């Protein structure tokens, strides 16, 4: 059996951004509509600053309106919620994203609840979880949305495939399962309480690992020919005292068994911001009654 | 191997109603709170009239406040929504239930959307689907809620069990899967597009059949010792030209394999109204800030 195809999420995301840029250009030309994303950062967390900068840059590169609101760490919850409210009603803004984590004196749940579901391009609100669970048009979380794009690109039709999602977080595992179910997969959700996890994973044509445990999924867990999507991003020590990033899948051994696999880094990761842009375009179209 | 225990849903529901009546008495005595359920019936569908009468009677028997609003078939959607709005803000009413189907000129989705999520004792609203999917306190649909009670009664701890739900409706299959997942089962959702459904069902410690296909689940689909919950209610012809009710499970053969099984009728069915009362008490407590 030959080695797995390595799914190049970086290249896929670059193509997706081009498609989005073309759609944005068409929306401007045909409808006078410029999709806009507002990102709010409270405090000066270094990693958050990097993410927020990337989001702003990629939004601009796609020809969209971008605004970044940098607030001091001592901003009160009321001030933050007031800004979210303003963005909710700003017709130039179609996506509102508050970068998490927020400082401890601010309730993350209160912030999420304040975001208009129609502008909730991170797919975090209870309203969007409910729409997704009910089969209604929703804004879905970016990472599982990106995983679905990679799977469709790799496999074409997903109907009838057996999919196992390892992990059941609200942001990743649960919406991933909903999206796979909507694509007519037979979906199993496994988690820390699952007994004989290797046997459960071996049933799958599609394995999505999203648990945050470095290299947990081994070669003998994977049915030969399965497609493996690795959502984990874990930093582990190297021999030289430095660190490196690995996923939840033991990549080097699983690639000898799977038919296709995402690497870490360079697999699912680059899809997330691209899907954020796609969600913003989708939100802009829905808010303006432009057909999808 | 001995025959399966037959799960007596009728007796369980009767005990549940007694427990609810005791809790209602305590809420009245200690908090001056009488849980109230309002049921709205539009038109004169004979089956709906029977259901609505049963709901009213059982609500009263539990010591709760019951009101039934019977509207003519020609009631406009606006009139119905206005009534729902009134019930939403009536402090004597903690559960609002509109009996479906409604006449064709009324949008069922619009009616559901009008019901306050805090009084949505049928668990139909997108808000409650989202709360359930997000692990937040929700009002959950009555039939899956009843199935969970029967399973807990039969099995005790559900953590780590493999559960297969056949069927993915918004009212039954999907919330059932969410409830089993919240109970730490490893959950698979199967449906019409599932390949080799018998093999998938054979993996399960818990089988929940909710597809509406008479006697579909056969003995050789069921792992010996599994617990089988049959949600189907199908009417099939008898030899004498009359009809009889059967479930989605071939009861006579499966009971030789399963460790426990619900009959049809008399299994899941009687649980539904009892869970409606339980949801109304839960809603009354939450709306009044009385601890659960």
In a mutagenesis test of the A interface, which of B194, B200, B205 is the best target, namely the one with the most A β-carbons within 10 Å?
B194
| DSSP state at residue A229 | E
Give the model confidence (pLDDT) of A203-217 as tens digits.
Answer: 999 999 999 999 999
The pLDDT, as a whole number, for residue A291 is: 81
Residue B23 lies in a domain: no
List chain B residues with CB under 8 Å of A159.
193
Same domain, A36 and A76: yes
A129 found inside a domain: no
Asked if B181 reaches chain A (Cβ–Cβ under 8 Å), the answer is yes
* B-contacting residues in A 114-173 (Cβ below 8 Å): 125-136, 159-160, 162, 168, 170
CA A210 to CA A230: how far, in whole Å? 7
Question: Is B55 an active-site residue?
Answer: yes
Residues A185 and A147 in one domain: yes
pLDDT score of B67: 98
pTM of this structure:
0.96
Same domain flag for A160 and A262: yes
Question: Same domain for B155 and B240?
Answer: yes
Contacts of A125 in chain B (CB under 8 A): 130
- Chain B contact set for A137 (CB, 8 A): none
Give me the residue from A126, A130, A193 closest to B159, CB to CB: A193
CA distance B224 to B243: 31
A78 has a pLDDT exceeding 70? yes
Read off the pLDDT of residues B163-181 as tens digits, 9 standing for 90 and up.
999 999 999 999 999 999 9
Residue A84's contacts (CB-CB under 8 Å, 6 or more residues apart) are A40, A96, A98, A111, A114, A115
- pLDDT on residue B292: 64
Same domain, B158 and B255: yes
B202 touches chain A (CB under 8 A): no
pLDDT at A1: 57
A71 beta partners: A42
Q: Copy the structure tokens of residue A170.
A: 């609200």
Does the annotation count B108 as an active-site position?
A: no
* Nearest CB to A181 within list B186, B189, B203: B189
DSSP labels, A81-140: HHHHHHHHT-TT--EEEEPSPPPTTS-HHHHHHHS-GGG-TT--SHHHHHHHHTTS----
Instruction: Give the domain extent around B97.
Output: 31-116
Domain count, chain A: 2
In this complex, is the C-beta atom of B176 within 8 Å of any C-beta atom belonging to chain A?
A: no
CATH of the domain at B166: 3.40.50.720
Consecutive H or E run containing A53: helix A46-61
Residue A39 domain flag: yes
Query: In chain B, which residues have pLDDT < 70?
Result: 1, 292
Q: Which of B119, B120, B122, B215 is catalytic?
A: B122
**CATH code: domain of residue B68:** 3.40.50.10860
Q: A210 and A163 in contact (C-beta within 8 Å)?
A: no
pLDDT tens for B184-224 read 999 999 999 999 999 999 999 999 999 999 999 999 999 99
Would you say residue B274 lies in a domain?
no
Pair (A253, A174) in one structural domain: yes
| Any domain includes A279 | no
Same domain, yes or no: A150 and A265:
yes
CA distance A289 to B9: 49
Q: Is residue B203 part of a domain?
A: yes
Task: Say what the pLDDT of residue A53 is.
Answer: 97
pLDDT of residue B291: 81
Residue A2: pLDDT band (50, 70, 90) is: confident
Same-domain pairing of B98 and B148:
no
Question: Do residues A58 and A105 share a domain?
Answer: yes
- Cα of B127 to nearest chain A Cα, Å: 6
Q: Are A227 and A194 in contact (CB under 8 A)?
A: no
Residues A111 and A62 in one domain: yes
Residues B157 and B244 reside in one and the same domain: yes
Do A187 and B188 count as a contact with CB atoms less than 8 A apart?
yes
Among A193, A198, A206, A211, pick the best mutation site for testing chain B contact (most B Cβ within 10 A).
A193
Kindly tell me the number of DSSP H helices and DSSP E strands found in chain B: 10, 11
ipTM reported for the complex, 2 dp: 0.95
pLDDT value at residue B68: 98
Average pLDDT score over residue span A62-79: 98
How far from B233 is each of A234, B121, B163, B263, CA to CA, in Å? 49, 22, 21, 10
Q: Based on the domain organization, do A151 and A237 belong to the same domain?
A: yes
Q: Tell me whether residue A23 is in a domain.
A: no
Q: How far is CA B127 from CA A118, B116, B120, B178, in A?
A: 14, 9, 9, 15
Q: Give chain A positions within 8 Å (CB) of B120.
A: none
Q: Does A17 have pLDDT greater than 90?
A: yes
> Can you list the alpha helix ranges (DSSP code H) found in B41-106?
46-61, 77-88
Return phi, psi of residue A261, to 5°.
-155, 145
CA pair distance B184, B199, nearest whole angstrom: 22
In tens, the pLDDT along A217-228 reads: 999 999 999 999
Res A143 pLDDT > 90: yes
Rounded to the nearest 5 degrees, what angle is found at the Cα of A228, between the Cα atoms of A227 and A234? 170
Residue B21 lies in a domain: no
Please say which residue of A116, A150, A175 terminates a domain.
A116
């Amino acid at each position: 059996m030959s080695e797995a195809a390595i799914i190049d999420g970086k290249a896929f995301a670059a193509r997706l951004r081009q498609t989005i840029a073309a759609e944005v250009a068409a929306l401007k030309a045909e409808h006078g509509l410029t999709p806009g994303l507002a990102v709010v950062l409270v405090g000066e967390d270094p990693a958050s600053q990097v993410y927020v900068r990337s989001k702003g840059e990629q939004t601009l590169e796609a020809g969209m309106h971008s605004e970044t609101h940098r607030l001091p760490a001592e901003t009160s919850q009321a001030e933050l919620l007031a800004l979210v409210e303003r963005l909710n009603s700003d017709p130039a803004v179609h996506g509102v994203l508050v970068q998490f984590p927020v400082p401890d004196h601010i309730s993350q749940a209160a912030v999420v609840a304040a975001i208009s579901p129609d502008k909730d391009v991170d797919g975090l609100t209870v309203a969007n979880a409910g729409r997704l669970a009910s089969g209604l048009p929703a804004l879905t979380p970016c990472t599982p949305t990106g995983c679905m794009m990679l799977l469709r690109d790799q496999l074409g039709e997903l109907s009838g495939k057996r999919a196992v999602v390892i992990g059941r977080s609200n942001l990743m595992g649960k919406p991933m399962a909903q999206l796979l179910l909507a694509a007519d997969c037979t979906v199993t959700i496994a988690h820390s309480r699952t007994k004989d996890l290797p046997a459960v994973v071996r049933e799958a044509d599609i394995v999505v690992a999203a648990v945050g445990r470095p290299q947990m999924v081994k070669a003998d867990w994977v049915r030969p020919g399965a497609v493996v999507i690795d959502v984990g991003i874990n930093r582990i020590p190297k021999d030289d005292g430095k660190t490196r990033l690995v996923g939840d899948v033991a990549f080097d051994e699983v690639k000898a068994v799977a038919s296709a696999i995402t690497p870490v880094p360079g697999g699912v990761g680059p899809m997330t911001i691209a899907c954020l842009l796609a969600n913003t375009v989708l939100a802009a179209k829905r808010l303006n009654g432009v057909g999808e």
